[in-house]
């Protein structure tokens, strides 16, 4: 078979049982495939193609362009740039692997492993992305900063466990609630003046979390395909919309972190 020729696609009822998680997507399912055939599916239309490319293209862009956009030489805390870079990459690369190989011939076992990998990517952006926010918000309170960072890491570990053992999308979304609440407390500290950081970054971080939450709600509600089953099988279904919102959320995280890094260059705590 030619590498660029796709196999006969399946409808929902005839697709592999572990891929029957959205009953409103009626056609375009790939059959059980080898690794090579999964890779070949990058080059023909099916109902996961949009999911692959809505995170695959941003992953390549983040991989290439974020390093030159981070002011490494101007900030003493070099680790902030490293964890931020990894935070932006992790959900995109994990998602691409999940969607590309989810129909592998290994069956439900491979699918479940890939789904866990995808959830770990989401947990990493929530974890690594927040560490610079915690550090800068509590910049002048080193003891509280260490405790807060440790507490957030422990909370994130619990979130990973909840996400990879969740039974459905609703419980997966709930797995990140405590991390979101923790970040909201940090934002309140900044808003009241008890925390540090760039005034411009707060709006960007709030937008980041709002987009991520909205994307998760769209995904679990199965909108818009719920109202027109079959019409959004290939493009603009709920999962693809969530992917786009996740990318926008990562961009707002990046812009907020850049604002904080710029602020960090010229601000110091009293007595320093």
The pTM of the full predicted model, rounded to 2 decimals, is: 0.94
pLDDT in tens, 140-156: 999 999 999 999 999 99
Instruction: Say if residues 55 and 91 touch (Cβ distance below 8 Å).
Output: yes
Residue with the bigger pLDDT between 119 and 75: it is 119
The confidence band for 73, taking pLDDT boundaries of 50, 70 and 90, is confident
pLDDT in tens, 163-194: 999 989 899 999 999 999 999 999 999 999 99
Residue with the bigger pLDDT between 270 and 156: it is 156
Residue 25 lies in a domain: yes
Q: The domain that contains 195 carries what CATH number?
A: 1.20.1070
Q: Is 109 annotated as a binding residue?
A: no
Residue 104 lies in a domain: yes
Counted domains in the chain? 1
CA 242 from centre of chain: 10
Residue 4 lies in a domain: no
Q: Is 171 annotated as a binding residue?
A: no
Tell me what pLDDT residue 272 has: 55
What is the domain extent for residue 51? 10-265
Cα dihedral 132→138→143→145 (10° resolution)? -30
Q: Measuring CA to CA, which residue among 177, 185, 200 is closest to residue 252?
A: 200
Q: Is 267 annotated as a binding residue?
A: no
Residue 205 lies in a domain: yes
């Amino acid at each position: 078979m030619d590498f660029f020729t796709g196999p006969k696609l399946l409808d929902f009822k005839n697709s592999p049982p572990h891929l029957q998680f959205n009953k409103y997507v009626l056609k375009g399912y790939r059959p059980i495939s080898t690794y090579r055939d999964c890779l070949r599916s990058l080059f023909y239309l099916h109902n996961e193609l949009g999911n692959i490319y809505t995170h695959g293209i941003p992953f390549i862009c983040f991989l290439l362009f974020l390093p030159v956009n981070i002011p490494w030489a101007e900030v003493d805390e070099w680790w902030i740039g490293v964890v931020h870079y990894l935070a932006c990459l992790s959900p995109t690369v994990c998602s691409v692997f999940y969607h590309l190989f989810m129909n592998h011939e290994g069956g439900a076992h491979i699918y479940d492993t890939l789904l866990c990998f995808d959830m770990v990517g989401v947990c990493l952006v929530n974890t690594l992305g927040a560490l610079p926010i915690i550090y800068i918000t509590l910049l002048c309170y080193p003891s509280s900063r260490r405790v807060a960072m440790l507490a957030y890491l422990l909370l994130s570990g619990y979130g990973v466990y909840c996400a990879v053992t969740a039974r459905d999308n609703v419980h997966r979304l709930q797995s990140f609630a405590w991390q979101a609440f923790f970040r909201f407390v940090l934002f309140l500290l900044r808003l009241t003046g008890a925390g540090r950081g760039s005034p411009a970054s707060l709006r960007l971080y709030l937008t980041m979390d709002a987009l991520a939450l909205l994307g998760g709600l769209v995904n679990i509600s199965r909108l818009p395909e719920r109202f027109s089953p079959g019409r959004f099988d290939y493009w603009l279904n709920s999962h693809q919309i969530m992917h786009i919102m996740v990318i926008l959320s990562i961009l707002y995280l990046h812009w907020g972190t850049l604002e904080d890094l710029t602020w960090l260059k010229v601000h110091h705590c009293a007595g320093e």
